[in-house]
A and B are shown apart, each in its own frame.
Chain A
């Protein structure tokens, strides 16, 4: 069967994007596959298409609940009903129901901690796993920017499942990280596809400026540059206040961060996708799993914490292949904030000591700690990120000795902080690098395929004016809101109304 035919049949696409075909073919040849595909190139198709063509289940391990939920929603919205996510979002009753019907699903998403649950693992062992997918596979490496100790177990789980055909996917992995992935997944033979992380359609600008100028510069830039765009901040507060200022300037903009309720978050994401918003002032919480083709600019108001995250974030621009720009503002001393944030992501010594004191006092078993998160998070004052680190670390441990585990965790945290700080300095080095920015990034990922072009980066020469756009066309007449009309336009099908643009007021 011709692959293109299948592609059209299942996805209504007429051609593959870069890299997809090679990866799919490798899997269909029965080869374990490690694929590094840049963000926005349709990673998920690499397992979904072979999934359809192979007999049996597709089991997808994914690290982030929100990401998992997004993917499930997306597949469902494409009409795939046989898809389910097993994670801690499910209530016990839902979990039971899902497990008893598990065989009726084709695509099963599961979080790493759920793989540690015996009932689930046993259920999975009864089934034929045609394809085992490790998404965000860089999480398996401690060199990766988002190491999750519980990912280490995946190799073992894979063995228990009879070492099924496996694909490991990642968007950003240095050579070291890729070696770790192969090692921990215990591949004996495999094919590796590393596609260039270069996105020639994205121009890269770095601007070094004084602290006081940043805000003014942002306001000016946004006025001139063509949207839609995302502005990344390291703080919720700044994201909010900048959004307010831009709104005063007449922009259609909202702030997006983890402090918002779920409803607002979904609405803002969807408004952005549906072009009801031109700009989102976001923290790094925004963008994961967002499918929007026409993002024209990414602005970093603060420096990102690692080049890996930077690459992911700027990769959200230009998915339609059209010219886009990523700009990073840096003021001398910004790295101090980054270093602080890095530490804040990891649990503090005092918190760890307190947690283990509680564990000992109450004589709890380490393997049950994750069931008590609601109690421990407030008791030790963990943030969600901090708790995730603790949880993931404990899940990776088999040691029963509480004292030893505590010391190992303390040790681990110290090491992580050091590694993360190195990454911050690497970003700083990148910012200050006087040569080509693109080459620097490619170098970092041991990637050769650089493509010199016009407007490459601020070192090679960049004409910002090329990215300016006119706003006049976007302005819509400010009609008075009429609720009855609005309701009617939602619920009553008007003939010929399909393509008529309705003012959203």
Chain B
């Protein structure tokens, strides 16, 4: 019987699923995803985690609960660092521990540490460690690792072509791997949505933000559509290196989009109680307001955010941009 590895559809799923999926499948495992976020999943997560955790972490608990009885292993890597001298967020450093001591009756957790802060080579070491749970053949592991890297590169290519990560993951799932064209999008304006992937691409959590904007005739771009080079270059304008990888992507993309003629507005999406967002959001907002040339909207979401309120604010914001344009 094939081994079932469970991956929660939350947090870094939106950044690294293709790599993880490619790796485990090449090792002969079945990859099982938790269901799409629902109210029930979120509620369960909220009940199982500490009150003070941020929404995305609570939601992660919910996805673990959804998945745990259906799989042989849960893949919850300790994602310390994915780029040199950077971190993601303290909560990712403690994630496997938080899960282990708060969710009863768990299957074994594959909680290998991914830390490339000092050396990129550690990435392979981490995957090799996981691989040894499945096979003792180092060549199989090496091959599976390369497979994962390939998938991840395909994923990035799709992102840079204009597919949003959740769309790219879906495309890849359907076997459409060698896309060369940007997706066709209707609309008379483009808005950059800047936020953590697990907030903006989870349609339940974001209250379908992307679709709503598209329905209003807006094309949506995000930090993930930009290449690493642009992000590095633009975020380097800060006097001190931004040490949160996702925060760096948000700041780099905001600095890039605020100068781009094809961008009509920037929306920053933050989680209630998110530590890094409170800083990156502040820096982005201050820089944008100083330039005064691009309309900015800050949306903070938590488990109580009302959908009606969000729609009203979005509509007002999009109308304002259209009026501004008409006046020019």
Do A and B actually bind?
no
Question: Residues of A at under 8 Å CB distance from B?
Answer: none
